[in-house]
């Protein structure tokens, strides 16, 4: 809930492109930190019992399962509307005359 407010503050204090720089820094830091995560006790067993190798046949089989098709549909529709909401709501808020900080607060309420 804080990320839209922080993002709005970053845009308010600098420029819109700073959001992408901040996102890249946070993503890079998260990636680097994953390399230092401790191994679990199950890692050695998981190495021996690795049945999740990628194959096209297995990938297509997941989409042929009729039980999962409604879930896939819900996920696609949800991501479509989330993309619209978070893509165009800031533009609409800006057109209404709100500052980037106010836009971040409104987006955090929506989130």
% of residues, the chain, pLDDT over 90: 0
* Number of neighbouring beta carbons within 10 Å of residue 43: 9
Phi-psi region at 38: left, alpha or beta (left = phi > 0; alpha = psi -120 to 50):
beta
Does pTM surpass 0.75?
Answer: no
Tokens linked to 94: 């800006």
Residue listed under structure tokens 């990938």: 59
Average pLDDT, the chain: 77
- SS3 assignment, position 41: coil
pLDDT given for residue 41 in this prediction: 63
User: How many whole angstroms separate alpha carbon 14 and alpha carbon 20?
Assistant: 12
- List the domain boundaries for the chain: 1-34+67-111
pLDDT tens-digit profile of 39-90? 766 655 555 555 567 788 877 887 888 888 888 888 888 887 777 667 777 7
């Amino acid at each position: 809930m804080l990320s839209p407010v922080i993002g709005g503050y970053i845009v308010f204090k600098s420029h819109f492109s700073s959001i992408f720089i901040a996102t890249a820094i946070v993503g890079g830091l998260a990636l680097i930190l994953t390399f230092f995560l401790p191994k679990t006790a199950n890692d050695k067993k998981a190495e021996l019992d690795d049945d999740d190798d990628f194959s096209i046949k297995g990938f297509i089989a997941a989409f042929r399962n009729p039980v999962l098709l409604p879930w896939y549909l819900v996920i696609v529709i949800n991501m479509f509307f989330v993309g619209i909401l978070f893509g165009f709501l800031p533009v609409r808020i800006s057109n209404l005359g709100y500052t980037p900080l106010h836009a971040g607060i409104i987006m955090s309420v929506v989130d």
